Structure 1
């Protein structure tokens, strides 16, 4: 089997797991391994990953470190936020939405270098293996996929550490006394899972959080922020035009300072089990509130309710890894069609963990003061409501009559 593989592109972070995987692939398949590290705003210095790959025998020409932050927000995060997407009512899909981008770039590199296989470090228990591999197969149907966690016998953290020591793979000094959770980070969020958090009754330690202050320790005076939208996407913060990644970076900063965006969630994984995760999504939480705020005055009622109807299905497709599926693309086309007139500015108050919309304005506003005023008006005949109500009540009256009421 191993002789059938000539070149592998590995999604490589430089951490313990993927470093062990790199050595394991080299020894098992005896072929060239190309490493790919994506900068999607995880907030870590990525040059150590390059040096570590070189130290493990990967030629410089076979090490890819790509800055994908703008593409991540522009082509993945923003399209998702146009739908006001929440999985199971609360989760902003920070991990899920990054996987199709990584898979896309990994396949692009595989084509560039003539690789016949790709590999990832996702475990056989989680969702990420599905997300990566559905992306791979959608973009290159004949690609061979290697998922070491489903094949090797290094089935514990202790065995991984032992393997690393045996093969002179550098281990971060804190790994023997590692943090009691695992994390995944990008420009949209950071997640914490495992170990101390596996008991859903246990509250997370405050010192675990890295992107936000505790709401009770946030400033005692609110912060006001204005977010400007064009065709459903945020384009400026407080009147300053920003790129997609810059928008999210700025909102992360403001949200984190005000204790916004924490979530403790037990979610339903695609593979069938429940898992407990704790998330910090400060900028995304503000962005969701702001987008719903601008839609409230620019979207027709029917269009808004249709979006709300399809959103759970859209969220599930992203969570389960079907970003490149025809049904996700079809729903995206519907969503994007609704966003043409979603232009304007939303003002929010950020205060002790809450992002509240307190103002909205738009050149395309459907909100008409002359229609909604409680004062006298000349555009709305209140008598018309009587016939409207009677027609809507007709089926209820007929049903009641049939029951002899």
Structure 2
């Protein structure tokens, strides 16, 4: 293999990257390994990472605090765009990868590294997300992906490798789910979840909340305040982006909100089954979508539905740093200019139930929409509108009569 003097490794301390420091040294002529961890809200998963990385062969460890940037510069643009993938996935892993990749490039430039390594498998989406983002900032930087090179063929073989090299792991063969955790979500894949016929063992895997069956028997009411499409207050209290999301995660998790079991179409062509926990994000998305209904005009609101699909695909496919995503942001920012106000929600056993909303920039007119008398709408005007709107239907019906004689 090509010799590298210094390699920056995207280091999470999970199974894959735990063994990669040793593997890189064995297979790339003992290069210097700089481990870089991007803190996007993994919490306990970050504990002891520096000690572990250095003890297993890294020369240096960087912990990048990316939480504020993650919420404000990646999550919020997706929220404003109502971006989802295949109707349900709120892009928890997808949104974080370009930010982490940019951090890797920054450290690589700072340290004078001549390669960047990631622990993504050759079957997954993350290899694309990392590498497209790296190319955006370091187009000529060599990228090492051990899963596409090494002789290890399964997670069991990785555990064997770790044990033979005395590399400590936080998992065992029975709890060897593939997980990704950040401030927005937690994903679960692998083991029994690989068979879509199996019901997820929720009591075994859930970490951010409980199932709806175990949620309280009494509803929880909350009110979210938005300014230009961004949530800024919860129940009348102003909070930072991080604080607000963490509080919504707590409230949503306790009420069984945001648990998704889906089979998705991966970018690389296969279908994959996973369970996602996104309690606070699910609440944010619901509240934002509700507020749009009274603050966006019809044509913008309907076009936003197209944008949300395309935006979600771009993020899922690792195309964050592209002209199209930036151009869509310009539309999304303009569309959210008047998405202001308060949305009251009732959280109850996995459900998010609308409980009223108000907006200083509302387009809803109770007077015009009322079934009672009003001076703003002449109902007789609708006759001419219907005649013109229905003219193509009428003409075709008349012509069909002639054609069929």
Pair in the same fold by TM > 0.5: yes
Runs (5+) with no aligned partner, structure 1: none
Of 385, 388, 393, which residue of structure 1 is paired with 2:390? 393
In the alignment, what sits opposite 1:2? 2
- Choose 47-56 or 249-258, whichever is displaced more: 47-56
- Give the C-alpha shift of residue 70 in structure 1: 1.1
Does the Cα contact within 8 Å between 1:289 and 1:356 map onto a contact in 2? Answer: no
Aligned residue for 2:225? Answer: 228
* Partner in structure 1 of residue 41 of structure 2: 41
In 2, Cα distance between equivalents of 1:129 and 1:43: 23
Deviations 1:153-174 (A, max 9, x none): 01222322232233232233x4
Aligned to 1:252: 249
Q: Give the secondary-structure state (helix, strand or coil) at the position aligned to 1:123.
A: coil
Mapping for residues 124-163 of structure 1, pairs under 5 Å: 124-163=122-161
Is 1:295 the counterpart of 2:261 in the alignment? no
Partner of 1:89: 87
Offset at residue 24 of structure 1 (A): 1.1
Rounded Cα–Cα distance in structure 2 between residues aligned with 1:18 and 1:111? 21
Distance 2:156 2:87 in 1: 37
Cα displacement (A) at 1:391: 0.8
Matched residue SS, 2:393: helix
1:206 to 202, 221, 227: 202
| Aligned position for 1:104 | 102
**What is the match of residue 382 of structure 1?**
379
Greater displacement, 283-292 / 154-163: 154-163
8 A Cα contact 1:70 1:243, kept in partner? no
Q: TM-score, normalised by structure 1?
A: 0.96
Mapped contact 1:2–1:28 kept (Cα < 8 A): no
d(CA) in 2 for partners of 1:363 and 1:57? 58
What residue is the counterpart of 1:196 in the other structure? 192
Aligned to 1:265: 262
Aligned-pair CA distance for 1:311: 1.6
For 1:153-192, list aligned pairs within 5 A.
Answer: 153-172=151-170, 174-175=171-172, 177-179=173-175, 181-192=177-188
Change (3 A) 1:318 1:45: closer
Q: Measure, in 2, the Cα distance between the counterparts of 1:335 and 1:171.
A: 43
Question: RMSD across aligned C-alpha pairs, in angstroms?
Answer: 1.3
**Secondary structure of 2:268's aligned partner:** coil
The partner residue of 1:243 within 222, 240, 243 is: 240
Report the secondary structure of 2:390's partner residue: helix
Q: TM-score, normalised by structure 2?
A: 0.96
Alpha-carbon distance in 2 for matches of 1:12, 1:144: 17
CA distance in 2, matches of 1:357, 1:38: 36
Aligned to 1:11: 10
